[in-house]
Amino acid sequence: MAPVYACSPRQLPVVYHPLYSQLVLPPAHRYPISKYQRLFAHLTEDLTLHQLSDTTSIAPLRVFTPTPVRVEWLKALHQPAYIDALIHNRLPAAKMRRIGFPWSQQLIDRTLMSSGGTLRTVELAHEFGIGIHLSGGYHHAHHDFGSGFCLVNDLALAAKHALTLDGIDTVMIVDCDVHHGDGTATLLADDPNIITFSVHCDKNFPARKPDSDIDLALPRATTTEDYLSAFGGILHLALAQHQPDLVLYDAGVDIHQDDELGYFDVCTQGVYKRDHLVLSHCRQAGIPVAAVIGGGYRSDHQLLVNLHAQLIHTALDVHGIMSSHRL
Ligand SMILES: [Zn+2]
């Protein structure tokens, strides 16, 4: 039975660590590693300026600093030999290429911290009804290999962690990143208490898409209207049928029409409406939400950050902390 949150938190719990962006990549690398630091700076500046107009208010965000995930927890989810090889730089070159990052100690440090951050976000959602991680969503990490910029699967790990918390018997992962949540689907295929739901583009990475509990595959060039209509309908049914005690929401913005790795035709306001759909539906149903920012790929990192920031503005709106949404 989910706890019912009669009132909103006075501040929005967000989880962030500077390590998220502390990774030196080759110059032409397409991963927007700076987006985490830029998003945090953007929110701090934007929301502090906003606050100046109302001197009676307190800061709308409460920032929590995570700790690195424990390696034994990773080994309980992934193949222990894979985790050992990953951490100690003993993976074959082909396996590192599949991940898409060159090995470095920084890479391992940020990965462990980021997974710890998603776990912390779940705990905050359990306590406050909402928690937002300014990282996370590494859904292409499988049992014994990583792929598509994902080394370990923070979503699967956090879903299992959620089941250890009081009153949480069923978790639903709502994965709205434009890419299919293949690693999450395979890692959790045998867990009846975790419902995996992926809405994604049918012709995009990964080529092989193992079954989630619920898959909504939409064609390339799907419009805002079609996306929201299809997703909203399935979300409503899925929540009604499974009645999860907590939702883990991957709010990837690579569904946007200008994303460089996505093929949908969803506009900026459409991304906002999708976030609003998930957060407001869960809020009304009394279901806590732990959200991660997920994927998003634009050469212009500031435009990308503006899209990710919408998730925080939506949460502030939905939870009645601050009406701050501006497109
Ligand atoms: Zn993605």
Tens digit of each residue's pLDDT (9 = 90 or more) over 12-39? 999 999 999 999 999 989 999 999 999 9
Q: Would you state the pLDDT for residue 294?
A: 98
Name residues of the chain where pLDDT drops below 70.
Answer: 1-8, 49-57, 324-327
Name the CATH superfamily for 12-21+34-318.
Answer: Histone deacetylase domain (3.40.800.20)
According to the 3-state scheme, what is the secondary structure of the chain? Answer: CCCCCCCCCCCEEEECCHHHHCCCCCCCCCCCCCHHHHHHHHHHHHHHHHHCCCCCCCCCEEEECCCCCCHHHHHHHCCHHHHHHHHCCCCCHHHHHHHCCCCCHHHHHHHHHHHHHHHHHHHHHHHHCEEEECCCCCCCCCCCCCECCECCCHHHHHHHHHCCCCCCCCEEEEECCCCCCHHHHHHCCCCCCEEEEEEEECCCCCCCCCCCCEEEEECCCCEHHHHHHHHHHHHHHHHHHHCCCEEEEECCCCCECCCCCCCCEECHHHHHHHHHHHHHHHHHHCCCEEEECCCCCCCCHHHHHHHHHHHHHHHHHHCCCCCCCCC
Q: How far is the CA of 127 from the centre of ligand 1 (A)?
A: 29
Q: How far is the CA of 295 from the centre of ligand 1 (A)?
A: 4
pLDDT digit string, tens, across residues 234-286: 999 999 999 999 999 999 999 999 999 999 999 999 999 999 999 999 999 99
Q: How far is the CA of 4 from the centre of ligand 1 (A)?
A: 32
Q: How far is the CA of 95 from the centre of ligand 1 (A)?
A: 19
Q: How far is the CA of 273 from the centre of ligand 1 (A)?
A: 18
Q: How far is the CA of 34 from the centre of ligand 1 (A)?
A: 16
Cβ atoms of 248 and 290 closer than 8 Å: yes
Q: Would you state the pLDDT for residue 66?
A: 98
Q: How far is the CA of 181 from the centre of ligand 1 (A)?
A: 9
Q: Would you state the pLDDT for residue 95?
A: 97
Q: How far is the CA of 320 from the centre of ligand 1 (A)?
A: 29
Q: Would you state the pLDDT for residue 9?
A: 76
Q: How far is the CA of 58 from the centre of ligand 1 (A)?
A: 35
Q: How far is the CA of 17 from the centre of ligand 1 (A)?
A: 21
CA angle, 106 then 109 then 112, to 5°: 145
Q: How far is the CA of 32 from the centre of ligand 1 (A)?
A: 12
Q: Would you state the pLDDT for residue 3?
A: 46
Q: How far is the CA of 291 from the centre of ligand 1 (A)?
A: 15
